[in-house]
Amino acid sequence: MDEFSFINAIKQKAYRQPTLVKGIGDDAAVFRSTSDIVTTVDTFVENIHFSLETMRPFHIGYRVLAANISDLAAMGAEPAFYLVSMCIPKTWNQKALEEIYQGMHELASLHQMDLIGGDTVSSDRLMISITAMGYVPKDQARFRSDAQPNDIIFATGTLGDSRAGLEILLQGQECKSQDYYIQRHRLPEPRVALALGLQEINRVALNDISDGISNEANEIAEASGVELFIIEDSVPVSESFHQFSEEQQYEWKLSGGEDFELLGTVSKANWPRVQEIADQTNTPIRQIGYVYEAEEPRVLIQTHGETKQLTKSGYTHLK
Amino acid sequence: MDEFSFINAIKQKAYRQPTLVKGIGDDAAVFRSTSDIVTTVDTFVENIHFSLETMRPFHIGYRVLAANISDLAAMGAEPAFYLVSMCIPKTWNQKALEEIYQGMHELASLHQMDLIGGDTVSSDRLMISITAMGYVPKDQARFRSDAQPNDIIFATGTLGDSRAGLEILLQGQECKSQDYYIQRHRLPEPRVALALGLQEINRVALNDISDGISNEANEIAEASGVELFIIEDSVPVSESFHQFSEEQQYEWKLSGGEDFELLGTVSKANWPRVQEIADQTNTPIRQIGYVYEAEEPRVLIQTHGETKQLTKSGYTHLK
């Protein structure tokens, strides 16, 4: 494939961000900002992170950008720019590649993001690496180290849906609301609106749920030096989620990745306002536990009256 | 390999950039700036862009970051941050990977750059993608579209050295100054000092020479809508470069990539000052031609009294 004509095919016709000085077309892109700049990179490899068995190229593009936007949301940032680096095997044709970019463009235009750079090289296996950038008001980035004792813990949306969708696609088994689960897997919606709405709250600890809340809750506990106490029955799941086996429900809602929901903590005083903001931004939100002082940072989970430790790997051990 | 312990092994002990608010350790990094921000991404794949046959892992790391810094220099920007995304095959051990990072660290510390993010995933083939960011004073980024008729064309350093070094490594043949050529291939030095020195000049068109000047000169001609006229004998080469065959010399100096020198144009009035700045920053610099008005953008090269067109692919065609 001719890289030059490919770049032309995917290049935007106009800039969306007023802060963009120079997009694609020179040695590098240029932008300016008086806000703080947030940046993150995520890399995805075919048949490890995604597969044509379960999604179209369009979904692949949509989902890899969603993962990056979710990281920006978890910092409280407004998405602005992205750069795409791809390794492309000869077996992929230009049409399929353009479809990947269309998936990215679809989500990017929802968030007024500009594609400002990239690199495409040949390799044996499709790899997509995205660097995303966003803006957050000065000193208002949301850190996972900001949880404090007496905070309440909240989660957005419903958890485990993406993992359920993957399973449905892999097993080919019919089940209730299967289109819903498949859509959640293929076209996840990062919680940007809530993250921006929360900018008025002076302190919120935030993580996006990319690897399951067992992992994200432990990251907040470690970074903040606190104990997170989660009540299992409060962890939000979809109405038809109970159709899956108990083991699946437990595994998927706590350790199923890529829901791209938000896990956070906020003071009890601010919790009512957070709920109002969630309401205004059409974001389902629910309290799932409390933050306590801790000698050793850890995450506990109360399940059927029993309290266990929830580790990063998602397994629980009796105390 | 445990990603967490690996991240700890490569994590910096302290931030170098005063504008860095949050480095590695949250969903994303945060920085702030009143300057314009320049950003670029470059991706390298084992046995396509580099090989253990011709370099140590240390050189690989050094060189991939050098390529990115060179893009920043070509924009007139001061390097500040980088993010590293890697696909790692199981055959690579942790020691070799750390050596790659040491190569990057070595060059990063020369330029006071901070590593602010990254992602490592498994794959069949080693792939390294770097996103680099730098600062340039407001509205002073250097564009390839800024060349004007009556400008002089200049090039820094000597060209073709990296390609000669690669050939020496591949053929295993002894030759004069071979350590020099090998070093130029393995440890290229992007022209940051000159690029920053040139900030006082009000207009300079700049490209870095990553794919050979035949390519870069055409990019400037196209972006600026001008004709670049290059005198072949003026193209700077190393003293011992004449030991190679005429064909090799011609091919390597015009199309040999990865010298990471700068190609630029500047008004005749400013050329003496540019030479002074080059002198102050220990940057060899030489005029290699002139810019003319053109109906169709193009690059001409005068070789032994004969004038030919120099195309992107490096081949010349009689007019």
Distance between CA A283 and CA A85 in Å, rounded? 32
Percent residues over pLDDT 70 in chain B: 95
Residue B316 reports pLDDT greater than 90: no
Q: Which stretch of A94-98, B148-152, B283-287 has the lowest confidence by average pLDDT?
A: A94-98
Structure confidence at residue B317 (pLDDT): 52
Residue B2 Cα to chain centre, angstroms? 33
> B174 pLDDT exceeds 90?
no
Closest A-chain CA to B40: A28
What whole-number distance in Å separates Cα of residue A124 and Cα of residue B114? 31
CB contact under 8 A, A27 and B40: yes
pLDDT band at A82 (very low <50, low <70, confident <90, very high): very high
Bridge pairing between strands A114-122 and A78-88? parallel
Inter-chain residue contact B38 with A49, CB threshold 8 Å:
no
Average pLDDT, chain A: 93
Taken in order of first residue, the domains within chain A and their CATH numbers are 3-136 (3.30.1330.10), 144-318 (3.90.650.10)
pLDDT for A9 beyond 90: no
Size of interface A-B (CB pairs under 8 A): 188
DSSP states of B18-60? TTEEE-SSSSSEEE--SSEEEEEEEEEEBTTTB-TTT--HHHH
| Cβ separation B30–A71 shorter than 8 A | no
Cβ atoms < 10 Å from Cβ of B7: 14
CA distance B206 to B195: 9
Long-range contacts of B201-204 (CB under 8 A, 24+ apart): B201/B266, B201/B270, B201/B273, B201/B274, B201/B277, B202/B270, B203/B146, B203/B148, B203/B266, B203/B267, B203/B270, B204/B76, B204/B142, B204/B146, B204/B264, B204/B265, B204/B266, B204/B270, B204/B274
Binding residues of B for ATP: 101, 118-119, 144, 210
A208 is in an annotated binding site: yes
Chain A: residue nearest B262 by CA?
Answer: A27
CB-CB under 8 Å, A118 with B123: no
pLDDT of residue B312: 87
Residues of chain A in contact with residue B8, where contact means CB-CB under 8 angstroms, are none
Nearest to B123 among A40, A119, A127 (CB): A127
Residue B188 confidence class, pLDDT cut points 50, 70, 90 = very high
- Lookup: tokens for A160: 């485990």
pLDDT tens, residue by residue, A194-233 = 999 999 999 999 999 999 999 999 999 999 999 999 999 9
Residues of chain A contacting residue B33, judged by C-beta atoms under 8 Å apart: 33, 37
State whether residue A9 sits within 8 Å of chain B by CB.
no
Q: Which residues of B touch A136 (CB under 8 A)?
A: 30
For residues A41 and B316, give the distance between their C-alpha atoms in angstroms, rounded to a whole number.
41
Structure tokens given for A288: 């799932």
B44, B30 contact by CB (below 8 A):
no
Element (H, E) at A192: helix A192-197
Report residue A318's pLDDT band, with 50, 70 and 90 as the boundaries.
very low
Choice between B192 and A173, residue whose per-residue pLDDT is larger: B192
Query: Which pLDDT band, with edges at 50, 70 and 90, does B314 fall under?
Result: low
Q: Which of A7, A22, A24, A27 to mutate to test the interface with B (most CBs of B within 10 A)?
A: A27
By Cβ distance, the residue of A25, A38, A43 closest to B119 is A43
Cross-chain Cβ contact A49/B145 below 8 Å: no
Integer Cα distance of A46 and B87 in angstroms: 12
**Span B112-147, pLDDT tens digits:** 999 999 999 988 899 999 999 999 999 999 999 999
Q: How far apart are CA B61 and CA B106, in angstroms?
A: 9
Residue B66 main-chain phi, psi, to 5 deg: -60, -40
The structure tokens listed for A148 are 């404090």
What is the average pLDDT score of chain B?
A: 93
CA atoms within 13 A on the CB side of A316: 21
- How large is the average pLDDT for residues B278-283? 98
pLDDT digit string (tens) for B65-118? 999 999 999 999 999 999 999 999 999 988 999 999 999 999 999 999 999 999
The residues in A 217-276 lying below 8 A from B, measured between CB atoms, are: 223
Q: Indicate which of B64, B120, B131, B145 best probes the interface with A, i.e. most A CBs within 10 Å of its own CB.
A: B131
Cβ atoms < 10 Å from Cβ of A211: 18
Strand partners, B152: B266, B290
CA distance A310 to A297: 11
- pLDDT of A14: 85
Q: What residues of chain B lie within 8 A of the CB of A141, using their CB?
A: 21-22, 26, 30
Closest partner residue to A124 among B116, B117, B124, by Cβ? B124
Best to test chain A binding among B37, B50, B81, B311 (most A CBs inside 10 Å): B37
Q: A1-10, A56-65, B10-19: which has the highest mean pLDDT?
A: A56-65
Q: What's the rounded Cα separation, in Å, for the pair B101 and B82?
A: 12
Instruction: Give the amino acid at B64.
Output: V
User: A190 — phi, psi (to 5°)?
Assistant: -60, 150
